């Protein structure tokens, strides 16, 4: 365990809340790493070296102030973790005045360092767990190495059959390992669910095989629990139930569903997707090229596009489309023929008709999402 500058500064900031005296924190070599007096940072403190050597508090009396380099009146105390010196904390002032606070301050600081070390270790394990889950999801076979790692993390890979992807749509989550533990305890719907932090904007939830498919109301409850951990919206995509060996499939489905949820807000189940599968799976470049080869010639023809929209929305009924547009049916026929002429697509040809409809949906969704 090292006492770096960041940790030393955090210690000083915490101590400032407890007392008004000048405080320093040095490393084991006696270099001041943090201080309530910034001008002292980087200076050598000979008294700190002696406190570490003797493993005991030393009062900086008038005699020592004259004799030792870089010291001032006060007291210095070695910070000991597991009986090993980590650094020194010092309080400036008359020794007889500040000494009564010394041992208490030393103990509080040591507890702070231990707690910080514990948090860092847990964060490290959380990151390693993320790496394990990535390898788990993408492994062609579950070899001995993967199984050993799963045992280390106490994850039974055969116990999960569905994946839920939750995303913070606007601002990243600020989830620590302890936050995740709290969220798991609050969400009582699925005991044994595995929560995995997935970068800064996502959270994966693996649903235990003992449970049925997850319900929308349970996902919404979880989103409400997560809302305090982000300033933005929480959305969710839910994959389908699969055999545990095929868990990647459920994860990919959940990722696809959360893409749709980004546009719609709320909760989206992948099994409910229809056109959206095509819409959000194809690269934008491919969709633009498809539009270019089909509906692009009429993209600036507002009347023709409105006509096509009404015709599609009324299930290709000329009568209903004309009624909605408040035009004579012959006018509708004229406009449809105009669309055929400009696009070179025959509306009586099922192949051409499907291509035009798909291109229209691509263009419509793109326009809708840009506003």
What is the phi-psi region of residue 133: left when phi exceeds 0, alpha when psi lies from -120 to 50, beta otherwise? alpha
Domain with 362 in it: what CATH number?
Answer: 1.10.10.2840
> What is the average pLDDT across 76-93?
89
Buried b vs exposed e over 150-170: b needs ≥16 C-beta within 10 Å?
Answer: beeeebebeebbbbbbbbbee
Claim to verify: residue 354 and residue 250 sit in the same structural domain: no
pLDDT score recorded for residue 1: 52
User: Does the residue 136 lie in any domain?
Assistant: no
pLDDT score recorded for residue 233: 81
Claim to verify: residue 113 and residue 221 sit in the same structural domain: no
Whole-angstrom Cα distance, residue 159 to residue 127? 22
User: Does the residue 142 lie in any domain?
Assistant: no
Claim to verify: residue 169 and residue 111 sit in the same structural domain: no
User: Does the residue 112 lie in any domain?
Assistant: yes
User: What is the band of 277 on the pLDDT scale with cuts at 50, 70, 90?
Assistant: low
Tokens at residue 267, please? 């909760």
Please name the helix (run of DSSP H) or strand (run of DSSP E) that holds residue 183, with its range, or none: helix 177-186
Last residue of a domain, one of 105, 120, 135: 120
Q: Is the per-residue pLDDT at 236 higher than 70?
A: yes
**What are the pLDDT digits (tens) for 127-175?**
899 999 999 999 988 999 999 999 999 999 999 999 999 998 777 777 8
% the chain with pLDDT above 90: 50
**What are the pLDDT digits (tens) for 289-300?**
988 999 999 988
Domain with 14 in it: what CATH number?
Answer: 3.30.450.40
Last residue of a domain, one of 274, 303, 320: 274
* DSSP assignment letter at 214: P
Q: Is the per-residue pLDDT at 235 higher than 60?
A: yes
**What are the pLDDT digits (tens) for 309-328?**
999 999 999 999 999 999 99
Number of domains in the chain: 3
**What are the pLDDT digits (tens) for 2-25?**
677 788 888 888 777 777 788 889
Beta strands in 251-364 (DSSP E): 267-269
Claim to verify: residue 267 and residue 165 sit in the same structural domain: yes
Range of the structural domain that residue 251 is part of: 156-274
Claim to verify: residue 15 and residue 91 sit in the same structural domain: yes
Higher pLDDT, 200 or 306: 306
Instruction: For residue 182, report the phi and psi dihedrals to the nearest 5 degrees.
Output: -65, -45
Last residue of a domain, one of 243, 274, 305: 274
pLDDT score recorded for residue 7: 80
**What are the pLDDT digits (tens) for 263-276?**
777 888 888 776 67
User: What is the band of 371 on the pLDDT scale with cuts at 50, 70, 90?
Assistant: very low
Our CA angle for 349, 354, 358, nearest 5°, is 150
């Amino acid at each position: 365990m090292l006492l770096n500058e960041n940790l030393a500064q955090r210690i000083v900031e915490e101590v400032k809340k407890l007392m008004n005296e000048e405080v320093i924190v040095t490393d084991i070599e006696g270099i001041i790493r943090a201080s309530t007096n910034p001008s002292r940072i980087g200076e050598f403190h000979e008294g700190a070296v002696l406190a570490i050597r003797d493993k005991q508090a030393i009062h900086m009396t008038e005699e020592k102030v004259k004799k030792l380099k870089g010291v001032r009146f006060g007291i210095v105390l070695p910070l000991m973790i597991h009986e090993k010196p980590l650094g020194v904390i010092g309080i400036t002032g008359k020794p007889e005045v500040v000494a009564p606070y010394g041992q208490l301050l030393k103990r509080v600081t040591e507890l702070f360092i231990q707690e910080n070390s514990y948090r860092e270790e847990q964060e490290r394990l959380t990151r390693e767990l993320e790496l394990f889950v990535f390898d788990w999801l993408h492994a062609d076979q579950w070899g001995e190495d993967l199984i050993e790692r799963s045992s280390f993390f106490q994850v039974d890979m055969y116990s999960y059959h569905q994946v839920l992807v939750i995303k913070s749509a606007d601002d990243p989550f600020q989830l620590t390992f302890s936050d995740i533990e709290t969220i798991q305890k609050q969400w009582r719907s699925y005991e044994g669910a595995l929560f995995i932090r997935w970068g800064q904007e996502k959270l994966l939830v693996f649903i235990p095989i003992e449970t049925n498919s997850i319900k929308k109301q349970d996902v919404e409850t979880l989103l409400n629990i997560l809302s305090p951990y982000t300033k933005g919206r929480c959305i969710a995509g839910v994959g389908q139930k699969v055999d545990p060996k095929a868990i990647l499939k459920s994860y990919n489905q959940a990722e696809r569903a959360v893409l749709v949820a980004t546009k719609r807000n709320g909760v989206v189940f992948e099994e409910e997707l229809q056109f959206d599968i095509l819409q959000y799976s194809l690269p934008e470049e491919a969709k633009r090229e498809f539009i270019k080869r089909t509906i692009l010639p009429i993209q600036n023809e507002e009347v023709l596009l409105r006509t096509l929209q009404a015709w599609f929305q009324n299930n290709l009924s000329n009568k209903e489309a004309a009624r909605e547009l408040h035009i004579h049916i012959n006018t509708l026929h004229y406009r449809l023929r105009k669309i055929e002429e400009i696009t070179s697509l025959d509306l009586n040809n099922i192949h051409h008709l499907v291509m035009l409809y798909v291109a229209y949906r691509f263009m419509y969704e793109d326009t809708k999402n840009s506003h």
